[in-house]
Amino acid sequence: TGASLANFQNSTAPVSATLSNTAGSYAVTIKDGKFQFAAVAGSETHYALFGGQVPTGAKFLIEGIRIETYNTGTAVATTATLLEWGIGINGSAVTLANAGFIKLNLGVQSFAVGDPVCKQATVIDVDFKTPEVCES
């Protein structure tokens, strides 16, 4: 139908994600959306921020991915923030424990202690020379 259920609502900030590595924080139909989550304290782990499924019998070509990240809320206080971005495709479920995923690294963003509100991290803009194919 050409419609997208992306997390990109008119005049509305995204709901803060409940981060999990066994379920997508935002369920979308394949493409795009805004995101927000609180700074995470504790040990390093991986989270599934977006999750979607290709309809049965269809394929979805990923030609590129752009990630723009901003510090919101308050200035970075006591610990720097490091965000490592990746994508997992062709898995049988939205869980990062799934061995069936094709996992691709996209890049890293960071915020230093003292970075102010509205500080933008370096934009990640990945252009796949050969599109990545997601299958149902």
CA atoms within 13 A on the CB side of 25: 19
Residue 1 pLDDT exceeds 50 = no
- Asked if residue 124 lies in contact with residue 65, where contact means CB atoms within 8 angstroms, the answer is yes
Residue at 21 is within a domain: no
Residue at 79 is within a domain: yes
Residue at 1 is within a domain: no
pLDDT digits (tens, 9 = 90+) for 85-134: 998 888 877 777 777 788 899 999 999 999 999 999 999 999 999 999 98
How far apart are alpha carbons 131 and 25 in whole angstroms? 25
> What pTM was estimated for this model as a whole?
0.81
Residue at 70 is within a domain: yes
Residue at 36 is within a domain: no
Residue at 17 is within a domain: no
Q: How many CB atoms lie within 10 A of CB 70?
A: 11
Residue numbers of the domain that contains 90: 54-135
Q: State how many domains the chain has.
A: 1
Residue 11 pLDDT exceeds 70 = no
Residue 32: predicted pLDDT: 64
Residue 29 pLDDT exceeds 80 = no
Residue 21 pLDDT exceeds 50 = yes
How far apart are alpha carbons 117 and 106 in whole angstroms? 24
pLDDT digits (tens, 9 = 90+) for 37-93: 887 776 677 888 887 788 889 998 999 999 999 998 899 988 898 999 998 888 877
